[in-house]
Amino acid sequence: MAIDFSIVREAIPPLLEGLRVTALVSAIGIPLGVVAGIVAAYAAQSRTWLRPVALSYVELVRNIPYLILVYLSFFGLPKLGVGASAMTVAIGCTAFYTGGYFCEILRAALRSVPRGQTYAAFSLGMTFWQAQRHVIAPQMFGFITPPTTSLVIMMFKDSAIFSVMSLPEMTYQSNLLTANTFAYTEVLGTTALIYWICSVLLAGVGRRLETVIGRRTRHV
Amino acid sequence: MFDWIAKGGVITPFLDGVVAGTALTLAASACAFVIGVALGIVLLLARISPIAPLRSLVVLWVSLIRGTPALIHMLIAYYMVPALLNISVSPITAGIAALACNTSAYIVEILRGALGTISWGQRAAGYAMGMRTAQVWRHVLLPQMIYRSIPPLTSEFTILLKASSLMSIIAVPELATVARNATLQTDLPLQVFTITAAVYFVILFLISAASRLCERRVSRMLPHGH
């Protein structure tokens, strides 16, 4: 079977339109998730009731398939009287999931910095948050960059799941195109190729960041 | 609480379906994992072979699989490959094939990591005892590699099991599909998906716990990674 390049050419504009939605969901959802992850990681470190809450949150994210979370939010929320658009649910799910995984990354990174460092900062008269900002955080960046890059790529790819709630992202556009043309090879091939290029670019940015941070932290 | 879930028996047919769905989810995941490990070993041999084009092909395969969504793998296996090869495949075959290909790309990297921890001396020792390359692999390298990669492989299995829910996209009647259909029939999405999430949670939590146990065992038996 030969590949019909005219179909590929026609498929690219709607797919890129979908990519815009995919990118928008990731660009809003992932940073929100990072914030949630930071909050959860510090909550898990505390010795209050916040600790079990944060740990349960991480376990929920790790042990429930993304698709089920998306179904539960999209079909379940309206039953609770919370009307949310597919876009809101998509951003919310991205943030919820990213948060759980980023919390795990941060927790491992926090453990990698020796406790003596915190004590040393305290003995210099720093407050808890000053110590975090000037002493702990700069040492963690090198540690968290590689897993965070993988996490960003994972969340970007997994946004394909939002096609089940008819959010017009790239996979949904691809499904529309295949339903109309039956040109599975051309359309799915192009879609996969665009996802791949984006992932490779994101991985490249991650590697670049690693070298920049590596160069910075050598002087600390 | 119980009444909120049971809804006076409306949900009972779904609960019966859950058992069959869970069985299929577990069976398909296990099947895909076994194929994935076998494929992973073959890919590893190609990845470290002296033939450069073969190595590049594996690198490309790993990059392609890791750079594209698992959902797209499902669609490619069910729609694109049969169209290209002019064959017809059942949803379950396509689903298992997609999951196996997906996991193979991650497994080859896990195995490569494990192989890296075994020193060259062991291989040399094998040859010194008169073993052929195949024998060195079979008796010296593979057993240690598999042993050392048990913890990351179990964690890869949990990822695979989660991804198996994507088979619902191509209508394999596994747990997620059962849940989706039950929502359409009962209009009780909260109850249905909460139960589904709980079933997945219990299974995955048990596997993770077993994995942690395994990890402790393995690290105790291999005190110094030689």
What size, in residues, is chain B?
Answer: 226
Yes or no, beta carbons of A62 and B204 under 8 Å apart: yes
Token pair recorded at residue B121: 């001396």
- The structure tokens listed for A105 are 């990354």
Residue A141 above 90 pLDDT? no
The Cα B157–Cα B127 span in angstroms is 34
Region A197-207 average pLDDT: 96
- Determine the pLDDT at residue A140: 86
pLDDT tens-digit readout, A22-62: 999 999 999 999 999 999 999 998 889 999 999 999 999 99
Minimal Cβ distance to B80: which of A65, A75, A184 = A184
Q: How confident is the model at residue A179 (pLDDT cuts 50, 70, 90)?
A: very high
DSSP letter assigned to residue B137: I
Does position A163 have pLDDT exceeding 60, yes or no?
yes
Average pLDDT estimate for A78-95: 91
* CA of B50 vs chain A CAs: smallest distance (Å): 26
Q: CB neighbours (10 Å) of residue B148?
A: 22
Confidence of residue A218 (pLDDT cuts 50, 70, 90): low
The string of pLDDT tens digits covering residues B24-54 is: 999 999 999 999 999 999 999 999 999 999 9
Under a CB-based contact definition with an 8 Å cutoff, are residues A195 and B72 in contact?
Answer: yes
Instruction: Specify the pLDDT at position B222.
Output: 58
Kindly determine whether residue B162 and residue A158, on different chains, have CB atoms separated by under 8 Å.
no
Interface with A, mutate which of B22, B62, B68, B106 (most A CBs under 10 A): B68
- Closest-CA distance of chain A to residue B143, Å: 29
- Tell me the C-alpha distance between B182 and B176, whole Å: 10
The closest CB to that of B69, out of A63, A64, A171, belongs to: A171
**CB nearest to B80's CB, from A161, A188, A196:** A188
A122 or B213, greater pLDDT: A122
Report DSSP letters for chain A, one per residue: ----HHHHHHHHHHHHHHHHHHHHHHHHHHHHHHHHHHHHHHHHHSSSTHHHHHHHHHHHHHHS-HHHHHHHHHHHGGGGT----HHHHHHHHHHHHHHHHHHHHHHHHHHHS-HHHHHHHHHTT--HHHHIIIIIHHHHHHHHHHHHHHHHHHHHHHGGGGGGGT--SHHHHHHHHHHHH--HHHHHHHHHHHHHHHHHHHHHHHHHHHHHHHHHHTT-
- In whole angstroms, what is the distance from residue A41 CA to residue A26 CA? 21
Distance from CA of B207 to the nearest CA of A (A): 10
Task: Please name the residues in contact with A10: beta carbons below 8 A apart, sequence gap of 6 or more.
Answer: none
Per-residue model confidence as pLDDT tens digits over B152-175:
899 899 999 999 999 999 999 999
Q: What integer is the mean pLDDT of A191-220? A: 87
pLDDT band of residue A82 (cuts 50, 70, 90) is confident
Band the pLDDT of A198: cuts 50, 70, 90: very high
Instruction: Categorize the per-residue pLDDT at B226 as very low, low, confident or very high, splitting at 50, 70 and 90.
Output: very low
pLDDT at B1 over 90: no
Domain A5-217 has CATH 3.10.105.10: no
Confidence check: pLDDT of A95 > 90: yes
Average pLDDT of span A160-173: 95
Q: How far apart are CA B226 and CA B212, in angstroms?
A: 22
pLDDT, residue A92, reads 96
- In percent, the amount of chain A with pLDDT more than 90 equals 72
Q: What is the pLDDT of residue A216?
A: 72
Residue of B nearest to A164 (CA): B169
Q: Over range B196-203, report the average pLDDT.
A: 96
The reported pTM is 0.89
User: Are B176 and A67 within 8 A, CB to CB?
Assistant: yes
Is A40:A103 a contact under the CB 8 Å cutoff? yes
Cα distances (angstroms) measured from residue A45 to each of A18, A54, A138, A148: 40, 9, 19, 20
- Model pLDDT for residues B95-154, shown as the tens digit of each residue: 999 999 999 999 999 999 999 888 889 989 999 999 998 999 888 888 888 888 888 899
Count CB atoms within 10 A of the CB of residue B186.
Answer: 16
Sequence-distant (≥ 6) Cβ neighbours of residue B78 within 8 angstroms: B89, B91, B94, B95, B98, B170
Domain range B2-221, CATH class: mainly alpha
Residue A125 scores a pLDDT above 80: yes
- Do residues A121 and A182 touch, judged by C-beta distance below 8 A? no
**Rounded Cα gap, residues A64 and A81, in angstroms:** 24
Residue A115, both tokens: 């406790």
**pLDDT at position B8, please?**
65
What is the spatial distance between Cα B214 and Cα B76, in angstroms, rounded to a whole number? 35
